[in-house]
Amino acid sequence: MSEVSTRAGLPQRLRNMRKLRGLSQQELADLAGVSKSLISAIEQDRAGETRAGTLHKLARALRTNTSILLQGNPVPKEEPPIDAQLWKPVEEALHGKLPQPEEPPSLTDLRSQIDGLKPLLAANRYGEVATLLPFLIRDVDALGPEARTARSRLFNGVGWLAVQLRQWDRAEAPIRQAMDAAEDRLDAAAATATLVWMYLRQGMLTEARELAIRTADDIEPRFSRASSAELAMWGRMLISVSSAAIRDNRPGEAEDAIRLARAAAVRIGYEVESDTSTHRTFGPVTVTMVVAENAGILNKYDTVLKIAERIPPRLLNGDSAGRNRHKLDVADALRATGHPHEAVAVLEDIYRISPEWLIAQRYAKQIMIDTLDRSRSLPPKTRKLAIALRVPV
């Protein structure tokens, strides 16, 4: 049970918890590493949207869980990073509004086409995926019960894309349908992993953590007999446990989950697909990148950079979301350790190879805001990136 009523808003919760700890605004600011003016603005409800990273710092200073401060705070509405008109046919297909084909679709062809989405997702070509989805959804509906597995994997991909593009209102229904249609426990776990990810991106830390723990327990494999697919799905779920726990100021639990995930990764020995619906991978490199991510959340920026140096560059080639996320952690660590030009260079490199992915990341926008010195003129390339990220220049 929380010490502070969960019905209270953030300003009241923060003020009450600070007073329960016997701290002045300045003392809390010093402990959290933020300004007193920010504490005052939050408590007086003048701060606008408070960053999740700031709430995590405050929770650590108050020796509480971030979820207590986040509870009841809705995720702010944002302009979606994809043309709404491009998503409209997907929505119509999900509601069964597309005309059915004259000839019945082939299940074999449909499976092949669904598999063909994965390289597009891996390359962050979201516009192309959104263009293809309506016809695949129509065909899987036409095939009915015989296409249950295909339906589960397709709808998980739809949900994953919606989460990636912050289309929260459109994401949960297809994810739930993917869970319901799954004939295999690993397909069901893959859809659950997408739902956990959606909760994490919305700051719903308690929901994410509890669902991830429950699912990891349900699918825990026997190491002596487990396949790589079973180990990978279990390891991916443990990563979700760690990600939720570290953000909820539960570092011990986060470390325990990473330790188990690392054991699964070592057992596999290399990077493998963690599910058959998306391009997500699991293995030693993935676990190492999450360790760096957790260090960044704890403001251990030197640790992030040291970990990044130990990952061979060839293993970070490509444009997958996981590797790009790691590069954002590196950019943020460079910014925080006084290397703004290097931080911007990392962002520019990601934008060069994965523009659709980068503009969908609030994290990237905040790094750019924190890095730019707006009093100086910006090089054209940096100005173009700032505009793409919707950063005032």
Rounded to an integer, the average pLDDT of 104-124 is: 90
pLDDT at 60 over 90: no
Identify the band that residue 82 occupies on the pLDDT scale cut at 50, 70 and 90. Answer: low
Chain centroid, CA 185 distance in Å? 23
Burial class (CB in 10 A: 0-12, 13-18, 19+), 342: middle
Strand-strand pairing, 272-273 and 281-282? antiparallel
Question: What is the residue extent of each domain of the chain?
Answer: 10-70, 79-183
Res 277 pLDDT > 80: yes
Q: Is the pLDDT of residue 75 over 90?
A: no
Return d(Cα 56, Cα 247) in angstroms, integer: 7
Other beta carbons within 10 angstroms of residue 225's beta carbon come to 7
* Model pLDDT for residues 291-344, shown as the tens digit of each residue: 999 999 999 999 999 999 998 877 655 667 888 999 999 999 999 999 988 999
Q: What's the CATH class of domain 10-70? A: mainly alpha
> Buried b vs exposed e over 6-45: b needs ≥16 C-beta within 10 Å?
eebebbebbbebbeeeebebeebbebbebeeebbeebbee
- pLDDT per residue as tens digits for the range 156-184: 999 999 998 888 888 999 999 999 999 99
From the list 185, 160, 178, the residue with the least C-alpha distance to 170 is 160
Length of the chain counted residue by residue: 393
One DSSP character per residue, 38-53 reads HHHHHHTT-S-SPPHH
Average pLDDT, the chain: 87
SS3 (DSSP) at 273: strand
